[in-house]
Amino acid sequence: MSQEAPDEEVCQALLDFVTEGTYPASENVISSKFPSFALAKELDLLSKAREQVEAEISSLSRENDFDADGWISQAKQLHADIERSRHTAREIVAQHENTKPLQLKVDDAAAKVGLIETEIAFNQAVTDTLEEVQRLSQQLDGGRAALENGQIMAAIDTWESAEKTIKKDSLFTNTNVMSILSENAAGLRREIEESLRLRWSEQFMVDKQGAKLAISNNGEAALDDTITALSRLDMLVPITDKFQRELISAIIDPVLLPNLDGQSRAVHVEEFGIEIDSNASAVPVSEMLDRVVSVLRYLQQYLPPAILNPFSDFLIPTLSSKIISSWLSSAIPTDLDGLTEFEKTLDYVLEFTQTIESLGLHGKEELVSWVNQSPRLWLTRRRVDSLDQVRRVLAASQGTAKQVDRVEKEKVSHDDEMLLDSATSDDWDAGWDEDKEEEKTEPAAPAQDDEEDVSAWGLDEDTNDMEQTKPTATDVEEDDAEDAWGWGDEEDEDQQDVHSQSHAPTTSKPVNGNGETHGASQREVTLREQYTITDIPDSVLRIVQQQITDSEAISQPTYSNSRVTSSGAGLLALPTLILAMFKATASSFYTLKLNSGQMYLYNDSLYLADQIRIIAEEKQLSRLASDIDALEKFGKFSYSKEMQTQRTIVTDLLDGAQGFSQCSEQPFLGECENAVSATVDRIRDVYKEWQPILSHSALLQSIGSLLSTVINKIIIDIEDLGDISEPQSQRLVSFCTHVSKLEDLFTPDPSPGAESVPMTAVYVRSWLKFQYLVNILESSLADIRFLWQEGELRLEFSPEEVVDLIKALFAESDYRRKAIAEIRRTSRG
C-alpha cells in the first residue's frame, strides 16, 4: 500500500494543475486525500500565483507602450460625427413629413384634370359614334327603300357598304351599338335573301306534286340580275342545287319511274314550261330517251348559261345513273332472242349521248362506258340470271320423284358368269340384280373395313380404321363448304372418281372366298338398275344446256354483228358456276323439304354428273371434267354424311345394352333386349325409308354398312367380356339371333323354281365372323377346336380372339389348356 504525500506536495500539485494543466507524476500524490485544513494554504498559493501573473502583465504592458490618447481622441470625434448625422436625418424626416399634404393636393388636382379630359374625349366619341350610327341607320333604311322599289342591286350595294363599315370602324368595337348595327344589317340581308328567293321561285317554278316546270320569260335582264345578286350573296350554289333536286324529283323521276320497270310518263313541252302526264304507260327505251331529250332541249334553251353549265355537271351523271339502273340494266336480254332489240337499244343510247353533246351538256361518259362494256354486262346478266334460276328451281321444287335407269356394259369372266347365273333372277331387265351387286362389291373378298359404305357406288371408304370413315362435325362442315364450291378437289388425292367406280366395277378380276384371283376369258354383259331422283337435276341440266347451246348459237353468222358476240365463249364458264350454286344451296333445301334428303341429293348429284358428262363428251368440253368430279364428290359426301348420321343413331341405340355386361340379370336383361330390338327396328325402318330412293345395290350396300356397324360393335363388346356364364351365353346367342334375322333384307326374290340365296355376306363384311361368333357361344370346346382345325373359323378370327373367347366361356381345366395350346400351335403351323 502506498504512503500518502505531504500536504505541501498535494497543494503544489493542485496549483500546477490549475496554472499549467499538468497532472501529478507521483503515485502518492494521486492517491492522497486533500484535507480541508489545507484549503487555506491552497488559496494562499493561488493568490500568490495571480499576483505574479498580474505583475507579468503589467511588465509586458510597459514594454509595449503606444499612443492610446490619440485613439481615444479619434473615437470621441467619430462619436460626435455620428450624432450630427443622426440629427440631420431626423431633420430630413421631419421635413418630408411636412411635404405629404402638399403632394396629396397636387395628385388630386392632376386626377381631376385627367377626368375632365377623359369626359371630354368620351363625349366627343359618343357624338361621333351617334353621328355614324345615324348615318349607317339612314344608309340601311335607304337600302330597304331601294329593295321595296325593286332595286335589288342597290340594296345589296348598300348592305355591303354598311357591313364593311361596321366591321372596320373602330368606333363600334366592343360596344352594344355594334351588335345593334350588325343585327340591323343582318336583317337587311335576310330581307334581300327572301326577296331573291321569291324572285327565283317566280322565275323558276317547280311543282313537284303536279310534275310541272315553268321558267318565267319576263325579261332576260331581270333573270340575269337575279343570278348576279344570288352570286354576290353566295346563294347561287345552294339555290341551284335545290332547283336541281326539285327538277329531278318533279320532272326526271316521273319520266324514268325507277320503281316501275318499263313504265314512263309522257312529257308535254310548251314555250314556258314542261308538264308531265299523270298516267304511266309501258314504253321502249327509245321513247323514254326521246322524252328525256325533250326535257334537256327545253332546259338548254331557257336556262341561262350561268345555271346550265354547272347544272349539267350534276344532272347528266345523275340522269345517266338512273337510266342505267332503271332501264338499261333490265333491258339486257337473258336469251339470244332479245339480242336484236338490245342492239337497237345500244344504238339509241349512243344517239342519246350524241344529243347530250350537241346540247353543250357534260357527263355522257358513264353512258358511253356502259355501251362499251355491254358484252361484259350481258355476260354478267346471264350469270346472275342462271344462278338465280338455280335458286328458283330449288325453291319451287316440290320434290317430285321419278325413277331413272342406269345402263352399263361390263366385261365379266367365266367365273363371274357362273356367279351371276347362281344369284340372278329371270327378270334381269327389271333392275340391276344381285349378280351386279356381287360384282361391284367384290363379294368374297376378305373383310377389311366393316364401315365400308358405298363400294357398290365407288365411294372409297375401305380403310382399316373405323374412325377414318367417321368425319367429325367440323370436318363435315368444312368438307361440305369446300365440296359445294368445288374447292380443295385437287387435295383429295386418295379419293377416286366415284363415277368411274360405279360404272366400272371390278368384274374383270373376281375374287373368290379365299382371296385368290383367277384369269379367265371375258365377255360383255349389259346391266341395268333403277334409282329415284327428284325433278331438280333435269331443271338444273336445262339451265346448263341453255348456256352451251347459246354459246354455239351466238358464234353463228346471224349474230356476227352483235356487240356481245365476243362474250359468247364466256357462256361456257357459266355451267361451272351453276353447278357450284347447286352445291352451295342444295343441301339446305333437301334437308328441309325431303325425308332422307341427303340420299335424294346423292342420287340427284350422281345423275346430274352423268348427264353433264354426256354433254361434255358430246360437246368436247373438257373444262367441265373437274366440275363433274366435284359434283360426284359432293353427292358422295351427302351419302357419307347421311350414313354417318345413321351409324351414330344405331350405335347410340346399341349403347343402351351397356356392353352386354350382366345381360342375363334384370334390370340389365331388359335394357339389353330393348337396345337390340330398337337397333334392329331402326335398321328395318331405314331400309323401308331408303328402298324407294336408292338403287337395289346401293340400298343393300348402305344397309349392309349399317349392319356391319352393329355387328362389329356386338363382336367387340362380347370379346371384351372377361367372363361369360352359361346364362349369359344363351342370352348373347338370342341377341345375335335377333340381329341375324335382318338377313331377310338381303334375300332376293326367288326365281320360279329357284331357291333364294341370301346375299348378306356380300354386303356385310363381318357377317361370317358374326355367325361364327354365335357358333362359338353355343358350342362345346370340342366343337370350337373342330371349327378351328377343320372348318373356316381361322379365316374370320385370330388365334388370340378365339383364345380369349374360350377363356371367357369355359372354366380353367386341362382340356381348356390343351385346346388353347392346340389352337396356338396350329395357327403357327
pTM for this model (two decimals): 0.66
Of the two residues 19 and 754, the one the predictor is more confident about is 19
- Which 3 state secondary structure label does DSSP give 268? strand
Question: 349-358, 658-667, 793-802, 804-813: lowest mean pLDDT where?
Answer: 658-667
Give the pLDDT score at 371.
Answer: 93
Give the pLDDT score at 516.
Answer: 39
pLDDT band at 220 (very low <50, low <70, confident <90, very high): low
Q: How far apart are CA 560 and CA 602, in angstroms?
A: 42
Contact partners, residue 137, CB within 8 Å, separation at least 6? 181, 184
Average pLDDT over residues 73-101: 80
767 pLDDT more than 90: yes
Give the pLDDT score at 58.
Answer: 76
No. of H helices and E strands in the chain? 32, 6
Environment class of residue 179 by beta-carbon count within 10 Å: exposed (0-12), middle (13-18) or buried (19+)?
exposed
Grid coordinates of 154: 342597290
Q: How many CA atoms lie within 13 A of 355 on its CB side?
A: 18
408 pLDDT more than 80: no
Residue with cell 345593334: 180
735 neighbors 660 (Cβ within 8 angstroms): yes
Give the pLDDT score at 481.
Answer: 37
Average pLDDT over residues 283-299: 91
pLDDT tens digits, 772-828: 999 999 888 888 888 888 888 888 889 898 999 998 989 898 888 988 988 888 877
Q: Which amino acid is at 96?
A: H
Kindly state the percentage of the chain with pLDDT values over 70: 80
Q: How far apart are CA 424 and CA 447, in angstroms?
A: 23
Give the pLDDT score at 169.
Answer: 61
- Which 3 state secondary structure label does DSSP give 207? strand
Q: How far apart are CA 258 and CA 421, in angstroms?
A: 72
Most confident among 145-159, 204-218, 378-392 (mean pLDDT): 378-392
Kindly state the percentage of the chain with pLDDT values over 90: 30
Give the pLDDT score at 465.
Answer: 36
Environment class of residue 2 by beta-carbon count within 10 Å: exposed (0-12), middle (13-18) or buried (19+)?
exposed
pLDDT band at 474 (very low <50, low <70, confident <90, very high): very low
* Residue 532 β-bridge partners: 403
Contact partners, residue 97, CB within 8 Å, separation at least 6? none
pLDDT tens digits, 592-617: 888 889 999 999 999 999 999 999 99
Q: Which residues of 561-590 are buried (b: 16+ CB within 10 A; e: fewer)?
A: ebbbbebbebbbebbbbbbbbbbbbbbebb
Pairing of strands 263-270, 204-207: unpaired
Give the pLDDT score at 415.
Answer: 54
Order across the sheet with 273-282: list the strands: 204-207, 212-215, 273-282, 263-270
Phi/psi at 230 (nearest 5 deg)? Answer: -65, -40
**Using CA of residue 732, residue 737, residue 740, residue 741, what is the dihedral sign?**
negative
Of the two residues 342 and 223, the one the predictor is more confident about is 342
Q: Residue ranges per domain, the chain?
A: 7-46, 71-192, 208-372, 649-828
Average pLDDT over residues 326-348: 90
519 pLDDT more than 70: no
Give the pLDDT score at 162.
Answer: 77
439 pLDDT more than 60: no
Grid coordinates of 489: 378437289
699 pLDDT more than 70: yes
Average pLDDT over residues 705-709: 94
581 pLDDT more than 90: yes
Measuring CA to CA, which residue among 498, 499, 500, 506 is closest to residue 459?
Answer: 498
The answer, yes or no, to whether the previous bond of 667 is cis (omega within 30 of 0) is yes
Give the pLDDT score at 1.
Answer: 45
Give the pLDDT score at 506.
Answer: 34
Q: How far apart are CA 72 and CA 78, in angstroms?
A: 10
Question: 14-28, 636-650, 702-716: lowest mean pLDDT where?
Answer: 14-28
421 pLDDT more than 60: no
Average pLDDT over residues 468-496: 37
CATH of 649-828, one of 1.20.58.390, 1.10.357.150, 1.10.10.10, 2.40.50.100: 1.10.357.150
pLDDT tens digits, 165-184: 777 765 556 566 667 777 77
Residue with cell 405629404: 100
Give the pLDDT score at 740.
Answer: 93
524 pLDDT more than 60: yes
Mean pLDDT, the chain, integer: 79
Give the pLDDT score at 494.
Answer: 36
Grid coordinates of 699: 340400298
pLDDT band at 511 (very low <50, low <70, confident <90, very high): very low
Give the pLDDT score at 829.
Answer: 53
Q: How far apart are CA 736 and CA 712, in angstroms?
A: 12
Contact partners, residue 30, CB within 8 Å, separation at least 6? 23, 24
Contact partners, residue 614, CB within 8 Å, separation at least 6? none
Give the pLDDT score at 63.
Answer: 64
472 pLDDT more than 50: no
Q: Which amino acid is at 613?
A: R
Give the pLDDT score at 676.
Answer: 93
Q: How far is CA 655 from CA 343, 551, 646, 728, in A?
A: 70, 58, 14, 18
148 pLDDT more than 70: yes
Q: How many CA atoms lie within 13 A of 701 on its CB side?
A: 29
